Amino acid sequence: MYDPIMRVLTVLEILQAREHVSGAELAKRLEVNLRTVQRYVARLQDLSIPVESVRGVGGFYRLKPGFRLPPLMFTDEEAFALALGLRALRHLGLAAFAPATEGASAKLGRVLPEPLRESVQTVDEVVALEPGPWVISTSAESLIRVSTAVRERRRLTFVYQSHNGAGTTRQIEPYGIIHTDGRWYVAGHCLLRQAMRTFRLDRLSNAELGNRRFKRPEGFDIKAHLQQSMPFVQSAYKIEVWLDLPFNEAHCHFALHRVSLWEENKGTALRCGRDHLESFAAMLLSLGCRIVVRQPEELKQAFAAVARRAMLTAQGN
């Protein structure tokens, strides 16, 4: 996509790499006319970049002799942190940003002083990063558009696919975005339901920003919102069990944004939503306590399936 700011910065890069360059050459490399080159140069001068022009036959542009933009001033730890952060994007389900991270890493390595460049290279050479099994890949385009809608307080329209595959068109006033438990979520006021709703970004498509603006609720805290709403975000199964485990002990085994817990009959009641029952059943068994399944009936079947596999494993089959 055409971006005049990038063209202006390209002029600056060319001028820093060459002692002088003609307007005709700049126009050819940027695929613009001479008048546009003059506007780009004027923009650099407005930014206090000392670009000098020599007119007439053989005329050219150059940076004032002795002028160079200073190198990026990072400490060794900052350079390492930047490189590590770029590599860690896949852990946030953002593998789609891989080309951008490669480009950013290359630019970072090119402009850093040699000692700091070694810190960046250290990440590539000795640090291995792989996303966890629960990380769900998310569209980079969707994340960018949703983030823009939140920042600019603009309504957002998209197609949302539920856990059973049904798609609906939604329009929301997005209040915030969060990454947790391997997934990206956006929370906001849904105009279709006329209520607060939380949506997974990996189930969202065809996101379009509207022109209508909205006012975000004062002091909205998406982390606090998720602690109350996440256990009941739409999932394939609604789960409720009772655990023969003191509340304080049970509390230590669960992420509170994913379950709702309360004390009951000297034990702990748990309610949440899940798409996959067998993995959840196996996790509950690891608590080492008596479990009473209240719903759904399919969770009992999941416990039975886990038990059969455990028996076969114990028998060496």
DSSP assignment of 92-156, as one string? Answer: GT-GGGHHHHHHHHHHHHHHS-HHHHHHHHHHHHH------TTPPP--HHHHHHHHHHHHHTEEE
Q: Between residues 158 and 94, which one has the greater pLDDT?
A: 158
What's 12's domain CATH number?
Answer: 1.10.10.10
Q: Is residue 133 part of a domain?
A: no
pLDDT of residue 299: 96
The answer to whether residue 44 scores a pLDDT higher than 80 is yes
Binned at pLDDT 50, 70 and 90, residue 1 comes out as: very low
Per-residue confidence at 12, pLDDT binned at 50, 70, 90? confident
Final residue in a domain of this structure, among 126, 148, 167: 126
In a domain, 95, yes or no: yes
Around 212, how many Cα atoms within 13 Å sit in the side-chain half-sphere?
A: 10
Number of domains in the chain: 4
Q: What is the pLDDT of residue 272?
A: 85
pLDDT above 60 (res 2): no
Supply the mean pLDDT for the chain. Answer: 83
Domain boundary among 166, 196, 221: 221
Domain membership of residue 168 (yes or no) is yes
77-81, 148-152, 255-259: which is most confident? 148-152
With b meaning 16 or more CB within 10 Å and e meaning fewer, what string describes 22-33? Answer: ebeebbeebeee
Q: List pLDDT tens digits, range 163-197.
A: 777 889 999 999 999 887 678 899 999 999 999 99
Q: Are 27 and 36 in contact (CB under 8 A)?
A: yes
Show which of 15, 40, 63 is a domain's final residue.
63
- Do 88 and 153 belong to one domain? no
Residue 106 located in a structural domain: yes
Q: Which of 10-14, 81-85, 154-158 has the lowest mean pLDDT?
A: 81-85
Q: What is the CATH number of the domain that holds 151?
A: 2.30.30
On whether both 244 and 306 belong to a single domain, the answer is yes
Does one domain contain both 15 and 52? yes
Mean pLDDT of 111-130: 68
Q: Residue 69 domain-assigned? A: no
Residues 215 and 266 placed together within one structural domain of the fold: no
Claim to verify: residue 205 and residue 250 sit in the same structural domain = no
Collapsed DSSP state (helix, strand, coil) of residue 193: coil
Asked whether the predicted pLDDT for residue 138 surpasses 60, the reply is: yes
Q: What angle do CA 244, 280, 201 make, to 5 degrees?
A: 130
**The domain containing residue 277 runs over which residues?**
237-314
Say what the pTM is: 0.56
In the structure, what pLDDT confidence band is assigned to residue 133 with cuts at 50, 70 and 90? Answer: low
Q: What is the CATH number of the domain that holds 294?
A: 3.30.70.250
Domain presence at residue 135: no
Same domain flag for 144 and 215: yes
Q: How many residues does the chain have?
A: 317
Q: Is 187:197 a contact under the CB 8 Å cutoff?
A: yes
Tokens at residue 83, please? 């490189």
Task: Tell me the mean pLDDT in the region 305-312.
Answer: 93
Give CA–CA dist 44/11, Å, rounded. 9
Is residue 229 in some structural domain?
no
Give how far the C-alpha of residue 196 lies from the chain's centroid of Cα atoms, to the nearest Å.
22
More confident site: 37 or 162: 37
**Which pLDDT score is estimated for 56?**
77
What does each C-alpha distance from 107 to 10, 103, 112 come to in angstroms? 13, 6, 9
In whole angstroms, give the CA distance from residue 299 to residue 237: 9
- Whether residue 39 lies inside any domain: the answer is yes
Give the residue-averaged pLDDT of 82-86: 80
Buried b (16+ CB within 10 A) or exposed e, 172-192: bbbbbbbbeebbbbbbbbbee
Asked if residue 90 and residue 53 are part of one domain, the reply reads no
